[in-house]
Amino acid sequence: MDDPKILTTASLRRTALVYVTVLLSVIGLAACAFAYFYAHDAATEFLDGQLRQIALNAGAGVSPARAPAEADQDPEDQFAVSIWDAQGRLVHTSLPSAHIPPRTPPGYANVKAASEEWRVYTTGDSQRTVQVAQREVVRQEIAQTAALVAAAPVLIAIPLAWLVVGWAMNRVLARLNTLSIELAERSVRATAPIALDGIPAEVLPLARSMNSLIVRLHHAVEAQRQFVSDAAHELRTPLAGMQIQVENLSREMRGNRSGATEVLARGVQRASALVNQLLQLARLDETGAAQEETVDVNAVVLESVADYAALADHKRLDLELNCACRAVCRGAPQEVRVLLSSLIDNAVRYTPSCGRIDVSIGRRDGRFVVEVSNTGAFLPKGSEARIFDRFFRAAPQETEGTGLGLSIARQVAERHGFGLTVENRADGTAGVIARLSIPAAGKDGRGAGVRR
């Protein structure tokens, strides 16, 4: 069996989001880089084209003193336009502080002048030479701004796409969450198939396989229950006959029963009790719930105590009942009686002769509490975890019992929503106490009922 400490689980939502995030990040960054460099190169080409157009149309023009300045113009954004005549004399310059010498041959070039980087375009003819220059820092700023504007939508689209994908996955996986909750809340007796509406197509084969498994398990459990019920019914008749034959044998021996006869009688009685309890388990394992109604717990406890009064007297046990309040609940009366009878029967069987059994009914924290305590030995260490297992007996094997009484009691308690514990007494007296906690019925008679 796998160690639960080393088992790992993979979240479908988390795994898909990780892959989608990585994919979006890689594609988004690649798209951003492409958009950035493409826009940067396009801006650079555009600015180079401006230099060329200015150079081709440059002339003496209007005096700068007569041209009004732009209100928001940055001095760094100015072009340096210089014109030389055929003799190489500077006849015009728009930015004297630049001191950019004429470049040969004509065309584009990167020049450093006045401690600044310039992008220069030079052209001319036999009459003059025109050179237009622009600061490189301005060109880079314009190109980067254009590139960032182009890349910004892609950067914004990445987290938006991640949110949309996450929302879509939550919508798709919501039905799986509903499916898991439905499975967790299903009773062990539930036979209805899992609803397939809204389940993703990829998970649909799994859901259908689970429905098929539910059907097979139901058939297997039903076959097992039917076998136990049939076997118990078939055994009751021969056991009853054996009981009669043992009694006839005892009468023929006129009371001189041998040890073998006593052993035979006890064996038949134990087998009969086992068959009856197996029948009770088979009825409790049925899928249908019994009809529930208001149950007078006091009356049921009183009847159960009366049923075992003779056996307790035979073992010289002091069996007492103390009713501090009237207890009423909702449930199946016959099953509640089986539950209480199992607790009292267990106490009577496992209490040594001359011992004491106290049965009490009280109210605590808004719930009715029925306690069955007895004197005798403590439960062995470690048996508390298995005390409700079928056929488990904490007492020595020579003690009468089948090991099914507490298992039946727990099954009835679970069906009705009762709390049931069996533990060693904590009042300083050697013995065991069984405590049954019953939700109190409301004023309308409603309370805990049989679980379907």
Contacts of residue 91, defined as CB under 8 A and 6 or more positions apart, other chains included, come to 60, 83, 84, 85, 128
- Return the H-helix or E-strand segment holding 124: strand 116-124
For 383-423, write each residue's pLDDT tens digit.
Answer: 777 787 776 766 654 555 566 778 888 888 888 889 999 89
For 253-307, write each residue's pLDDT tens digit.
Answer: 665 555 666 666 666 666 666 666 666 666 665 545 556 788 899 999 999 899 8
pLDDT, residue 332, reads: 84
Q: Pick the more confident residue, 353 or 37.
A: 353
What pTM value is reported for the model?
A: 0.47
Q: What order do you get walking across the sheet with 90-93 strand by strand?
A: 90-93, 80-85, 128-135, 116-124, 107-113
CB 430 within 8 A of CB 376: yes
pLDDT, residue 384, reads: 73
pLDDT, residue 38, reads: 77
Q: Which residues pair with 375 in a beta bridge?
A: 431
pLDDT, residue 268, reads: 67
Confidence of residue 233 (pLDDT cuts 50, 70, 90): low
Specify the pairing of strand 318-323 against strand 293-296.
unpaired
CB 408 within 8 A of CB 390: no
For 68-110, write each residue's pLDDT tens digit.
Answer: 545 445 566 678 888 888 888 888 887 777 788 887 788 888 8
Q: Which residues pair with 112 in a beta bridge?
A: 117
Which range has the top average pLDDT, 68-77, 93-102, 177-186, 342-351?
342-351
For 4-21, write each residue's pLDDT tens digit.
Answer: 444 444 566 777 778 877
Specify the pairing of strand 367-375 against strand 431-439.
antiparallel
DSSP 193: P
- Residue 235: CA count within 13 A, CB half-sphere: 18
**Mean pLDDT over each residue of the chain, to the nearest integer:** 76
Residue 401 backbone zone (phi > 0: left; psi -120 to 50: alpha; other: beta)? left
